[in-house]
Chains A and B, each alone.
Chain A
């Protein structure tokens, strides 16, 4: 009795050409199913990359952005003396209001420390341990950090506590009798300038490679 659903009319398929190996016809190195699978995955991968790569680049772009060089006048040369620091406030980052301002301690260069009296020294308030704001204590002629007890001498070299290097400095110049403060730079324990590092990172010798310089920081003077 014939099955109504049977549309083969008794043919078994034996008389049709049989691919060998199964699924591959003559001259094919890849079955159609496999070719379509690979093509589908490739298209999906390209579509995914088109979305993901720009997004990742968008998030990472600031790391490679060259900084603008900002110079700001902080007062006449007569305001600063070689024997003590005066605090000055200036804008470090533009566009974020008060949060972008920072304080630096400025003095005139002193022959006592091998500096010219026409130069000016600007020392950051940012502790070289983890970035808390240090204060200059005039009576002790030293910088003291309130967070973890870092202490620095008059030149900003470490006297005690956890800081890993001397206090960072800012480039200075004199324009029309006004002292101007510019880009930040770090120093080694011998006060040699190096490209600016974040707090907590050692400087000098092999440390300059273990904590590599970043493209978004200004070059050392």
Chain B
């Protein structure tokens, strides 16, 4: 079958090559087969994304890279799971002190797959904390925090603190007895810091008592403020990983060069 030449829009026409008959080299499905490559080419011509992705995904890694090096990606994946399930939980959750518990019960017991999605978010939170600590331990034990990667260590510690804040603020949201009293205790531990502690507690509660503003405040911090900071800092973290490269495991001793001597001294 041959598509009449007039029906093929000009961008899909292939240049006529010698030795081939008609447009598209005589293959009527030619334009369709070429479409994915054409689309990628169209995007790449306008963004330059292909060279960026090639540089990131095909970067060189040192000899001896092993499974321990996947812990950072695993933590990132745990965060993506939390972000995704969190978005869907927010569709049913009601952050008012009188309705929060009822909305969580409804979400868990009545909504299709609600228990599953909430379970992923609940257990995923623990998984993320465990993975982030294993990732930190790997970085520490392999000495991967040393020059020139100190800044990435600092960003990583900030991400750890932000993840703990996520755990603390998220714990209140089911608004049952356990989460209420755990938050009361947690906020009061904040308050024992000298001079600023009492004001920090007031900021967290939105007042001197656990009141109408407390739950909404925690909800806003949990789903808007801290996730935004985490996403931005993960971007910086990954940028530095790609820019600086990863370290070889400590049991491999590279040849000493002028460039590596400073790394050893610091």
Contact = CB atoms under 8 A, between A and B. Distances in A.
B212 A211 contact: no
A92 B207 CA distance: 13
B152 interface: no
Interface of A is mostly: loop
Contact count band on A: 20 to 34
B206 to A, nearest CB: 4
A131 interface: yes
B98 A65 contact: no
A130 B208 contact: no
B192 interface: yes
Contact of B213 (A62, A92, A100, A131): A62
A212 B199 CA distance: 9
Interface string A181-202: 0000000000000001111110
Given A93-B211, A196-B208, A211 B194 contact: yes
Nearest to B205: A62
A133 B188 CA distance: 13
B198 A100 contact: no
Contacts of A201: 191-192, 197-198
Nearest to A98: B98
B167 to A, nearest CB: 18
A96 B207 contact: no
A30 interface: no
A90 to B, nearest CB: 13
B201 A198 contact: yes
B247 to A, nearest CB: 39
A60 B203 contact: yes
B50 interface: no
A159 interface: no
A173 interface: no
Interface stretch (B41-49, B56-64, B178-186): B178-186
A216 interface: yes
Given A96-B211, A97-B98, A100-B211, A198 B188 contact: yes
B195 interface: yes
Contacts of B212: 93, 95-96
Given A62-B213, A67-B208, A96-B211, A211 B198 contact: yes
A59 interface: yes
A200 B210 contact: no
A93 B209 contact: yes
Given A96-B212, A130-B185, A132-B185, A200 B198 contact: no
A212 B195 contact: yes
Contacts of B249: none
A63 interface: yes
A207 to B, nearest CB: 9
A10 B229 CA distance: 58
Given A62-B213, A67-B207, A212-B198, 20 more contacts: A63-B199, A95-B212, A97-B98, A99-B180, A130-B184, A131-B184, A131-B187, A132-B184, A132-B185, A147-B185, A196-B208, A197-B198, A198-B197, A199-B191, A200-B192, A201-B197, A210-B194, A210-B195, A211-B195, A217-B208
* Nearest 8 CB-CB pairings of A with B: A96-B97, A198-B191, A97-B98, A200-B192, A62-B206, A130-B185, A63-B202, A131-B184
11 contacts: A93-B212, A99-B97, A130-B189, A131-B188, A147-B185, A197-B198, A199-B188, A201-B191, A211-B194, A214-B202, A216-B208
Interface of B: 97-98, 175, 180-181, 184-185, 187-189, 191-192, 194-195, 197-199, 201-203, 205-213, 215
Interface of A: 59-60, 62-63, 65, 67, 92-93, 95-97, 99-100, 130-133, 147, 196-201, 210-214, 216-217
